[in-house]
A and B are shown apart, each in its own frame.
Chain A
C-alpha cells in the first residue's frame, strides 16, 4: 500500500454513459497525476495538478475527459459519453515537487474501466 487510494477499483459501464473516478493522494503531496494504461502497454500521461491548478494536459485527454482537484486535495476524473476505446486501467499518482524535475511518484491501485 503506497498511501494513494482510488475508488472504485472496478467499473463496468455501457457505451454512452458518464463515469467518474476518485483519487486520494498522500496528504502532504502537492502534485497529482492521472495516467491511462491499456493491456500490454506502459502507462500514458493524461494530466497533472500542482495543488488545485491543472498545469498540463496530454493530447490524449479529449474534450470528453475532465479532471478536477478542488482545494488541492482529492481529484476526480470524469469521462463523458464513454466509448469502448476508453476501456483501460486509470492510474493516479502523487508526489512532492521539491526540486526541478520529478521526484518519486507513488501510484494508487488503479481503477479498471470496462465499457460494453
Chain B
C-alpha cells in the first residue's frame, strides 16, 4: 500500500529565506508526483507536476525534484514571501494510475 510522508509538518521562516519541503513515498512504482498548495478552508491549487521519467520541474521561484528510485521529492522555494504562507501537499498517483495519494502536508508560515 502506497504511503506518502511529508516532513516537516510545520515550518516557520522569516521573509527572504530559501527553504526545502520534503516528501517521501513507499512504493516507487508511480506515474507522476504533484505538489499542491492549499490555503485555509480552500481547495487545492496545483503547483508542479513531475512525470516519473523526469527529474525536476521549475515554475518561477519553485523547483521540485523527483528521485523515484529512493522514493523522495523535494520542493524548493526561493526567496520566500508572506504570500507563500499555506499548506503544501505532495501527492502521487497509485499503482493503477487513477487517484492521487496525498501526504498530510507541510504548513508554512513566512513572517515579514
Contact = CB atoms under 8 A, between A and B. Distances in A.
B61 interface: no
Contacts of B72: none
A32 to B, nearest CB: 11
Given A56-B99, A100-B31, A107 B45 contact: yes
Nearest to A47: B99
Contacts of B96: 56
A109 B103 contact: no
Interface stretch (A12-20, A38-46, A70-78, A79-87): A38-46
Nearest to A105: B100
A107 B46 CA distance: 8
Contacts of B89: 42-43
Interface in B40-56: 41-46, 49, 51-52
Given A101-B93, A102-B31, A45 B46 contact: no
A108 interface: yes
A2 B45 contact: yes
B41 A43 contact: no
Contacts, number: 70
Interface in B74-112: 89, 91, 93, 96-105
Contact of A110 (B4, B43, B51, B91): B43
Contacts of B97: 100-102
What bracket does the count of chain B residues touching chain A fall in? 20 to 34
Contacts of A103: 32, 49
A107 B43 CA distance: 6
B99 A2 contact: no
A11 to B, nearest CB: 14
A112 B32 CA distance: 28
A21 interface: no
Given A2-B45, A100-B31, A45 B104 contact: no
A110 B36 CA distance: 15
A97 to B, nearest CB: 9
B75 to A, nearest CB: 15
Interface of A: 2, 4, 33, 35, 40-45, 48, 55-56, 58, 91, 93, 100-110, 112
